[in-house]
Structure 1
């Protein structure tokens, strides 16, 4: 998410990853600087537990963690992700979602297709239960719902500037990047490897996955 405000791109051609560059280096240096100054939680600590036991002021997670937090005794609020600029036009909040798909088939049953589309439409327009769990609904119609308006995350959709801050990665092979980050995201921040080595391995690993996909 941090790469967006400073002009970063995950890819330049829609296929090959663009991860080992000065923008990525700057992002990691920002995170490492915060870590080295002990502004952030440290390696081995559990940010969620620190937050739930009133030992951490900010818990930079997504609203999908809302259910776990609201069941605790912690009094908390929801706000934007930490930003690199105070300019509202440069504000970025990362967003993502599960997706329903109709798999390609040689012959598709028309009645089943129509039923599936009707179901998807119903889910889209009846997403209050998902919103209770922290989802950003897929339809703006929910912003008229009084129950939704009372939810802490509702400002992300009811305010135009907040709406425009929501970004979703549309890189076709973002899944390969996400897999790597889920496993090794903080290695360079925690000093387990250098930033240069980390970015080089990240670039090569994702590139290999993309190339393998192309030859399948």
Structure 2
């Protein structure tokens, strides 16, 4: 009898151990399946959630400059605001960002669940089938595309599907030296070509080495030249071919060169030369992006900012870039997608911290707030939003347009006529398209 009882007891123990092994294997398989489904994050212990765990999200950005801490602040606030999700914020070096992203998306190693992408990169990555449409994610999270500035939403809508949730828009703007304006008797920033030409004449004082507008020969012509071409009724891309040797485009190149010939701008300006002179108080006007604000603030300049004037004769048009949130197509885990939606909903209503970095945010809710309107710089930048245009929606546009910048420099430096420089740029661009 005693022996029988021992056998029964041993059998019960074996059954219990087998059950534990099966349960453990089942748990590991479930976890592995979740990871394979696209959730690169893990679940960690948390308080207040029904499961006692948080779903982790890996979020990449290229904000390796002074803007990084502002995004980190938003992420930290979100993580503290709830106990269901945890966003792990990773900053990749700006210059290497897309190279790192290409590796992560193609290999699946350390692939982010959410990432920042410049809006003009969206068509290329969408064409490679590496992004997923965010319409359903946004709808589930209560995010409405109508609550954002129209330009990036329209640009990133491909085949009637939206591929980004906009964060900001950064157009080229006009910075001006208030002290130089006052000395020259220029009472307001110019808004058109006639006012601009008259202002830079007054602002130029060659005896003191002060120039009305120092024409950059390289960067940031990537923002200035397209704006001028569009303003004058021209196009960079006509639908089938590059078009920056049109009469409208060449006229604007000639306008830039004329300022050098007239002495409004010094000749042979080197890279960043216009910015160096602006910091020294010897360049009255500079066209550049919102990212320059912190540098000018730190330098203690008495400067103002205004919408870029309409130099061309056709319309107001201002070249811009835009940061937005995109989701890799490989992310399919429902908990991860729900967490992404929850985070983006939070950001869309709480991006004032991002505005403090100097950026004009794309969220209409934030733009309409009293706090944002009180930010004189950012609210001025946002006045350009109705006129912004992005790079042509053409695959590999960066490679195609690259020859323009060296040829434009040749024209401004007087090495080639404006027409010859733009004809050469078109020829090189067409070669790059083959």
TM tier, smaller: 0.7 to 0.9
In structure 2, what is the equivalent of residue 21 of structure 1?
246
In structure 1, what is the equivalent of residue 320 of structure 2?
95
Q: 1:164 aligns with which of 386, 410, 427?
A: 386
1:124-181 per-residue CA deviation (whole Å, 9 max, x = no partner) reads: 4333233233322111212233332232230343x5xx44223333432442355444
Residues of 1 paired with 2:401 and 2:347: CA distance? 27
1:200 matched to 2:423: yes
In structure 2, what is the equivalent of residue 149 of structure 1?
373
Residues of 1 paired with 2:254 and 2:280: CA distance? 29
In structure 2, what is the equivalent of residue 175 of structure 1?
398
Cα offset for 1:86? Answer: 8.9
Structure 1, unmatched stretches of 5+, are 212-216
1:173-211 per-residue CA deviation (whole Å, 9 max, x = no partner) reads: 442355444555422111122323321232133233333
In structure 2, what is the equivalent of residue 186 of structure 1?
409
1:9-58 per-residue CA deviation (whole Å, 9 max, x = no partner) reads: 22222x53222221221111111111211213432351112111211111
In structure 2, what is the equivalent of residue 214 of structure 1?
none
In structure 1, what is the equivalent of residue 306 of structure 2?
79
Cα offset for 1:8? Answer: 1.0
Using the size of structure 2 for normalisation, the TM-score is: 0.42
In structure 2, what is the equivalent of residue 115 of structure 1?
339
Change (3 A) 1:124 1:53: same
Is the contact made by 1:10 and 1:171 (CA closer than 8 Å) also made in structure 2? no
In structure 1, what is the equivalent of residue 231 of structure 2?
5
Is the contact made by 2:229 and 2:248 (CA closer than 8 Å) also made in structure 1? yes
Larger Rg: 2
How many residues of Structure 1 are paired with residues of Structure 2 in the alignment?
Answer: 204
In structure 1, what is the equivalent of residue 364 of structure 2?
140
Using the size of structure 1 for normalisation, the TM-score is: 0.78
Is the contact made by 1:92 and 1:167 (CA closer than 8 Å) also made in structure 2? yes
Residues of 1 paired with 2:293 and 2:393: CA distance? 27
Residues of 2 paired with 1:40 and 1:82: CA distance? 18
In structure 1, what is the equivalent of residue 263 of structure 2?
38
Residues of 2 paired with 1:186 and 1:141: CA distance? 41
Is the contact made by 1:41 and 1:47 (CA closer than 8 Å) also made in structure 2? no
Which deviates further from its counterpart, 142-151 or 51-60?
142-151
Change (3 A) 1:70 1:198: same
Cα offset for 1:77? Answer: 0.7
Change (3 A) 1:127 1:184: farther
Structure 2, unmatched stretches of 5+, are 1-226
* Structure with more relative contact order (C-alpha pairs < 8 Å, separation 6 or more): 1
Change (3 A) 1:29 1:156: same
Runs of 4+ with deviation above 6 angstroms: none
Is the contact made by 1:93 and 1:167 (CA closer than 8 Å) also made in structure 2? yes
SS at match of 2:311: coil
